[in-house]
């Protein structure tokens, strides 16, 4: 009986973390379109996370521009706020900008409401202020 509460807690945590993983990753629930083998043979998409970074992002943008390649940047709202000129450059050079939360915090340790308000909406507002466009794509940190 002493172990019931810790066991119940572990079960609930495993359920909270495991159920979304099963539904989205394994069964594709809420996923717009899963990659098919046929599409993967014809196309490739470059995506970059965790920026913008004043050391690497300008070099990456130079490389992409010189090669005529477009990419998607999933930026952290806190870094977009700190380096708006880099986000502006991404946008002006035709790259897509997505959200990667305000900070690189694991979603599993936050409530859905907290994720939406403090990370997704806040980051979308920052990106929209800089580029004039509201981002529509989201990549959760650590893939969860
Ligand atoms: Zn990341």
Tell me which architecture the domain covering 45-143 has in CATH. Alpha-Beta Barrel (3.20)
CA of 76 to the centre of ligand 1 (A): 8
- Residue-wise pLDDT for 49-64, tens only, equals 999 999 999 999 999 9
Q: How many Cα atoms are found within 13 Å in the side-chain-facing hemisphere of 131?
A: 26
CA of 15 to the centre of ligand 1 (A): 24
CA of 143 to the centre of ligand 1 (A): 8
CA of 101 to the centre of ligand 1 (A): 9
Q: Is the pTM of this model over 0.85?
A: no
- Residue-wise pLDDT for 130-143, tens only, equals 999 999 999 999 88
CA of 98 to the centre of ligand 1 (A): 12
Domain boundaries, the chain: 1-34, 45-143
């Amino acid at each position: 009986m002493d172990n019931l509460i810790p066991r119940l807690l572990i079960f609930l945590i495993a359920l909270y973390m495991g159920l979304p993983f099963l539904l989205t990753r394994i069964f594709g629930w809420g996923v717009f379109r899963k990659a098919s083998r046929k599409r993967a043979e014809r196309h490739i998409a470059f995506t970059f996370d965790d920026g913008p970074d004043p050391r690497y992002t300008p070099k990456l943008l130079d490389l992409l521009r010189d090669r005529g390649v477009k990419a998607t940047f999933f930026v952290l709202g806190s870094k977009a706020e700190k380096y708006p000129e880099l986000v502006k450059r991404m946008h002006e050079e035709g790259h897509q900008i997505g959200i990667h939360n305000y900070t690189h915090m694991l979603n599993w340790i936050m409530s859905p409401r907290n994720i939406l308000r403090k990370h997704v909406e806040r980051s979308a507002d920052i990106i929209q202020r800089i580029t004039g466009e509201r981002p529509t794509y989201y990549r959760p940190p650590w893939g969860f």
